């Protein structure tokens, strides 16, 4: 998709997510992203159940080539992490941040 075809809403969301990587670390759970966005007036339209809001979030990020992934957290136990949830990883967000938010 040419840069000019990227929805403004997608770029606005990416702009709001980029600083979270510095404060929250390299993995952003969908739950945490939704909590942060709820505090921002422009994203108050994200209403409904968590599942509905998660889907809207995914649809907004899709034109940027960003998809939710499994986020594994907690200390290792028997070679496995204690838990996992859906979210967004630095390595998935970084290319879009560099490409679309340069300067």
The strand ranges marked E within the chain are: 27-29, 69-77, 80-89
pTM: 0.82
Q: What is the pLDDT of residue 74?
A: 65
Secondary structure (DSSP) of the chain: --GGGS-HHHHHHHHHHHHHHHHH-SEEEHHHHHHHHHTSGGGTT--S-HHHHHHHHHHHHGGGT---EEEEEEEEETTEEEEEEEEEEHHHHHHHHHHHS--
Q: What is the pLDDT of residue 84?
A: 78
| Statement: residue 59 has pLDDT above 90 | yes
Least confident of 8-17, 26-35, 69-78, 82-91: 69-78
Q: What is the pLDDT of residue 18?
A: 92
Residue range 3-100, CATH number:
1.10.10
Q: What is the pLDDT of residue 82?
A: 64
Q: How confident is the model at residue 76 (pLDDT cuts 50, 70, 90)?
A: low
Average pLDDT value for the chain: 86
| Statement: residue 86 has pLDDT above 60 | yes
């Amino acid at each position: 998709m040419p840069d000019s075809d990227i929805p403004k809403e997608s770029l606005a969301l990416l702009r709001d997510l980029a600083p979270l990587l510095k404060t929250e670390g390299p993995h952003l759970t969908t739950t945490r992203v939704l909590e942060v966005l709820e505090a921002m007036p422009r994203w108050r339209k994200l209403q409904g159940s968590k599942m509905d809001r998660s889907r809207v979030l995914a649809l907004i990020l899709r034109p940027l080539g960003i998809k939710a992934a499994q986020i594994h957290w907690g200390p290792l136990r028997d070679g496995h992490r204690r838990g996992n949830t859906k979210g967004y990883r630095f390595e998935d967000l970084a290319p879009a941040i560099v490409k679309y938010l340069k300067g």
